[in-house]
Amino acid sequence: MADTQLMEPIDDGGSDGRYVIVEKGFLRGGGATIVDIHEGSARFLVDIERGQKTGWFCDQRENRLVAARLAAGAEVLEVFAHTGAFGIHAALAGAKSVEGLDVSEEALVLARNHAVLNKVDTRCVYRPADAFDEMRTLERAGRRYDLVLLDPPAFARSKQAVPRALAGYKDVNLLGIRLTKPEGFLVTSSCSHHVTEQELWTGIRLAARDAKRQVRLLEQRGQASDHPIFATMPETRYLKCFILQVL
């Protein structure tokens, strides 16, 4: 991609709720729109033309590597899997199995390709599904996992959406906690800058209470270090990632 730049449409609403669309394409030159990248010991294919945002969530890079440390020998559930990045790292770290869910079949095609590319396809299964519906189905069926990975899209794109978003985060974490085996691990994230760390943590505590489970906070993380946080721009501190043990 030397001497090329890609201009993506801005897919996040502004403070007034409006969206700004700009032309997509190379500013100069040209090249492949499927790019082969390395992250840690993993290889991935990034669709910079049709993928969400830039096609790759670079802000979760360090969190994926940390979460993989919990994966050795684990049965893993990856929810909102997108193209499978968290799960592929888990499989490379020795996970027994990875089950990935995402509503986008197009994204899951790349996830399956990533599993083949990294030679972990015999341990990774992906299927299209609504996350909330499928998690409820798995919970009713008695399925439980050693490691549950939750990386949902932004539930709140405006301040007005925060109350509904908080209910959504509580529900998804309640299901995640219920699906985690005793002494297993839950890695849960939020990329909604309108939702504060304290609000997200309160939702997790309420979810644990409703599930009648105890959770222990092992680590609280944010976006990768190459995504700067400025004191004068609170919206730059947007990504929250909690690594929990569910007792």
Catalogue the active-site residues.
191
Cβ(58)–Cβ(82) under 8 Å? no
Strands ordered across the beta sheet of 180-190: 124-128, 97-102, 75-79, 145-150, 180-190, 240-246, 215-221
Please give the structure tokens belonging to residue 123.
């341990």
Distance, in Å, from the CA atom of 142 to the CA atom of 67, rounded to the nearest integer, reads: 24
- SS3 state of residue 139: helix
Task: List the Cα angle 55/195/58 in 5-degree steps.
Answer: 25
Reported as type and span, the H/E element at residue 107 is: helix 105-117
Cβ density class 236-246: b for 16+ within 10 Å, e for less: ebbbbbbbbbb
Contacts of residue 141, defined as CB under 8 A and 6 or more positions apart, other chains included, come to: none
Of 93, 196, 105, nearest to 149 (Cα)? 93
